[in-house]
Structure 1
Amino acid sequence: MAKKKAYKKYRTLHLPKAIVDNLLLKLHLGFADFDYKPEIFLIILNEIISKSSIFKKKENYSYKFIPLYSKYLKAKYGNSYPNYIRFLVNQGIIWNDNYYKNKATYYYLFDTNKYLKDYNKLLSIHNIISEDIDTPYCFTITEQNLSESTEIPKDLNNRKNRISIVWYAVKIVITPKNKKYLTSSYNDDSTFINNAPKHIKKMGSHFRNNFKIDAEKAIAFSTTQYFRNIDKAESEEEKLKAYNKYISRVSSIKAIEGGKNLKSIYFKRSKTNGRIDTNLTNLSSDLRQFIVGYEDMVYLDLKNAQPVLFNIILKEHLINATEDLKKEIDQYFKNTINGNWYEHLQELYNTTREESKNLWMKIAYSKNKSYKDDKKVFKDAYPNIYKIIASHKTKDHSDLAIKLQKIESDIFIDKICRKLVEKEIIPFTIHDAVIVKKEHKEITLKIMESVFRDALGVVPCIKEE
């Protein structure tokens, strides 16, 4: 009797060609002096690329570093994980400046030209051609030109730009030995969803089964935008920023497109702040238009969300408050609840609305010793509230942000979403917003208003998109 053929499972990663070529050449030349599993290199690179749209740039840096936590890396890749990181850094595939915080080291990707220069230089030095480079046995690589369905203006479509939009689909065979790091995140999410409270369990299953994107249109939009940003860039720094924005967008789109089949869809709750993190929360706002069925949905979010939710903390300080503090809190309450907080900061600072948002970030979330000149105007206008803000950041400047995020997740996930699910309305969420079908708009608004009235005593400004 013929032996039944074993069914193989795969995980596919979508990565920029220039980076993968650079890696494979250096592995082919024997630069890795340890017993390695080649797919681990790609998984690490995939993590950095996919996370580059989540994390904001570091203070005093013009670009983003992506944190990789030692505890997480060890649990996922084993005790040998430092060898992989060290190789990627030493070989110029990722970069770090030894910035270390909260048990995480921060890493960064270079731009396409750097990878290409390294690649071509090594080919020349070792007198080999690209066709001679070995592809690891566990890989199947397919080249994809992301501009094929994009009408790019001729004046922008030069060869140098086109290099950046060629990607690889790297298909990796899942084995008992590598599934720990190829599928563990998806399996962990499954465990979380199955054991979550009823409303979150329904939200997780709904998200996995129904959240989809028109990837072709989303990538075409992103590619055209990338070419225009490159054309407008006035420095190498701006070009690098455009490139990193582009690759993080494509990575996000491809992950959603892959969905359950590629185990690249995720739905998890942060143990730190209680937020639900998904592919949607990682998606740029201007790409939401490409969500399948979005034309029949409505996006409802709390305007000035974090400043509004800070009122809940301020309420705790009203007990035994001085008259001056009461006046400040009353003024702050009116400006935030009406949705005019950033406009109010505009007037205080005589600046643009966008800059007023950045000023609030500095006031509320930076270290107490940082940006003192920027904080002075607010400190003069709200001296007592400024002291309260500072008091919540004495141990760690991230404490206030985390506390506000916990308040936000309690209101949106544990209250609003629970009530919606009880009404058989399963929403998509983006931290301080919900997306529901247009037919459910009115009942969703009523539920949101009821929850906010209980938390704040009034209904704040809810914006509709």
Structure 2
Amino acid sequence: MKIGKELDYLLSLQKDKRVIRRILKVYNALVFKKGKGKSYFNCPSAYLKKVNGQYNKVTKLLLEHKIIDFKSVNTDESDLFNHRRKKYYDTEKGICMKYKFLIDVEQGYEYDLELDYSTIYDKEIWYSKTKQSLLELGFALEDLKIKRDNFSRRLHTNITNYIEGYGSYKNLLAGGDYYVIDGKTTQPRLLWLHLKEIGLQDENLNYIFENGLDFYQYLLDRIPALNNDRNEAKELFTTWINGTGYIDSEKTAIREIFKTANLFSAQYKTADYKNICRLLQYKEASIFIDDLLNNCPVEFCLSVHDALIVKKEDKDLMLQWCKERRPEILFTIEEVKSKQIK
């Protein structure tokens, strides 16, 4: 890491070596999250807490010395004589703190802190289970890449990178030895569940899921412009719920079909149109990674978004366990075949 004049000055004010090291660890962790960008970057408190339990003392110092800044949406005007900026985050919505550096982190003298933040999740059960599963598949320990995104909404591994980029899952797991337990229409279902949690009732969403109907078929039956194409129905849902608001004119009927959900979505996107996407991904990860993967009763298990990959001999046990553990999710199971799962 590089220590510029601003950070060097802050360190010179400290008399306790433990405080100096705490500052260096948190600062370095922020640089790690920053990546190559120059604007605000996501940095959840859970991540910084793993780095140091007193991280908030360090971020306060860094803010006071104009080394970093945080993203805010407005000000707290409850005190007429001392308006305070309001931090932009909401853990329930999957929105974490955003910081940006006010200094050039590439300038200064070299300092070797000898820390590797890529191993910050080593003690997590989902991490160890994923690591052991990948090792069993023949990956070399030094080549493993397992990480969560900036707000833990996704779990990325060597395998998922291959799936999303090249579809080579078929070369690795096809052949009858592995099965995928998939959450059917998970994103629409999670939207429905969230609305119920906050006391909103969308009549048509309720009708679909309370009667065990197929969400996408429901759209196909009511929007002729989808041409009876299930992939188009999926794309429409994604565009409607995660997009900026634009929908092809012949498909805008989805807004009227799900009036309550549409009003909720429009309001929820006021600060950032990506907020719904973050919310649903956060809920999905909480179920499939932090609950099912973390607690599953089998040794081999990999998660891919809203699916779990298990061995053939474990498939019946895992399917029944998932159904009992998460009855609000509709699970299906099939053999991993020579094609991409998703």
TM-score for both structures, normalised by structure 2? 0.59
Specify the alignment match of 2:76 in structure 1: none
Which residue of the partner structure matches residue 460 of structure 1?
Answer: 330
Of 46, 69, 72, which aligns to 2:35? 72
Q: Does 1:300 align with 2:181?
A: yes
Measure how far apart 1:398 and its partner are. Answer: 0.9
SS at match of 2:276: helix
Deviation of the 1:284 alpha carbon:
2.8
Q: Which residue of 2 aligns with 1:203?
A: 129
User: Radius of gyration: which is bigger?
Assistant: 1
Which position in structure 1 is the counterpart of 2:276? 400
Unpaired runs of 5+ residues, structure 1, are 1-68, 76-101, 105-176, 213-255
Quote the residue 2:146 is aligned against: 267
Map residues 48-447 of structure 1 onto 2, 5 A cutoff: 71-73=34-36, 187-189=116-118, 191-194=119-122, 196-197=123-124, 199-212=125-138, 259-261=140-142, 263=143, 265-284=144-163, 286-291=167-172, 295-318=176-199, 325=201, 327-334=203-210, 337-338=212-213, 340-350=214-224, 351=227, 352-368=229-245, 370-371=246-247, 373=249, 376-420=252-296, 423-447=297-321
CA distance 1:71–1:201, shift in 2 (3 Å): closer
The superposition leaves residues 339-366 of structure 1 with CA deviations (integer Å, 9 ceiling, x where unpaired) of x111221122222111111111111100
Question: CA 1:267–1:207 in 2, change beyond 3 Å: closer, same or farther?
Answer: farther
Q: How far does the alpha carbon of each residue in 1:315-340 deviate from its partner, in whole angstroms, 9 at most, with x for none? A: 1243xx5xxx45333224247x54x1
The one-letter code of the counterpart of 1:203 is K
2: CA distance, partners of 1:424 / 1:356: 35
Question: 1:441 Cα shift?
Answer: 0.7
Cα distance per residue 1:367-424 (max 9 Å; x no partner): 13x226255211122222211222221111111111111111111112111221xx34
How has the CA–CA distance of structure 1 residues 386 and 375 changed in structure 2, closer, same or farther, with 3 Å as cutoff? farther
Q: Which moved more, 1:378-387 or 1:398-407?
A: 378-387
- Check the 8 A contact 2:223/2:251 in 1, yes or no: no
Q: Which residue type is aligned with residue 149 of structure 2?
A: S
SS in 1 for 2:252: helix
Give the 3-state SS of the residue equivalent to 1:354 in structure 2.
Answer: helix
Distance in 2 (CA, whole Å) between partners of 1:309 and 1:464 is: 22
RMSD: 3.3
Counterpart residue identity of residue 348, structure 1:
R
Q: How many angstroms apart in 1 are the aligned matches of 2:333 and 2:134?
A: 27
CA distance in 2: counterparts of 1:277 and 1:407, whole angstroms: 16
Take 1:391 and 1:447, find their aligned partners in 2: how far apart are those partners?
A: 37
CA contact (8 A) 2:127 2:146 kept: no
Give the TM-score normalised by structure 1: 0.44
Task: Point out where structure 2 has 5 or more consecutive residues left out of the alignment.
Answer: 1-31, 39-97, 101-109, 336-342
Q: 1:201 to 1:460 in 2, by over 3 A?
A: closer
1:281 is paired with a residue whose SS is helix
Residues 275 and 284 (structure 1), Cα distance of their counterparts in 2 relative to 1, 3 Å cut = closer
Q: Deviations over 1:22-65 (max 9, x none)?
A: xxxxxxxxxxxxxxxxxxxxxxxxxxxxxxxxxxxxxxxxxxxx
**Relative contact order, higher structure (CA 8 A, sep 6+):** 2
Q: In 2, Cα distance between the equivalents of 1:200 and 1:282?
A: 18
Shift, 1:207, TM fit: 4.0
CA change 1:367–1:71 in 2 (3 A) is: same
User: Aligned partner of 1:364: which letter?
Assistant: I
Contact map agreement 2:220 2:230 (CA 8 A) in 1 = yes
Quick check: 2:285–2:305 contact (8 Å CA) kept in 1?
Answer: yes
User: Structure 2 CA distance, aligned partners of 1:406 and 1:373?
Assistant: 30
| Paired-residue identity, % | 22
In structure 1, what residue type is equivalent to 2:132?
Answer: H
State the distance in 1 between where 2:256 and 2:132 align: 49
Amino acid at match of 1:409: A
Confirm or deny: 8 A CA contact 1:266 1:279 kept in the other structure. yes
1:300–1:463 contact (8 Å) kept in structure 2: yes
| Pair 1:103–1:365, CA change in 2 (3 A) | farther
**Relative to 1, partners in 2 of residues 1:291 and 1:73: Cα closer, same or farther, differing over 3 Å?**
same
Moved >6 Å (runs of 4+): none
- 1:23-62 correspondence to structure 2 within 5 Å: none
Residue 426 to residue 380, structure 1, CA distance change in 2 (3 Å):
same
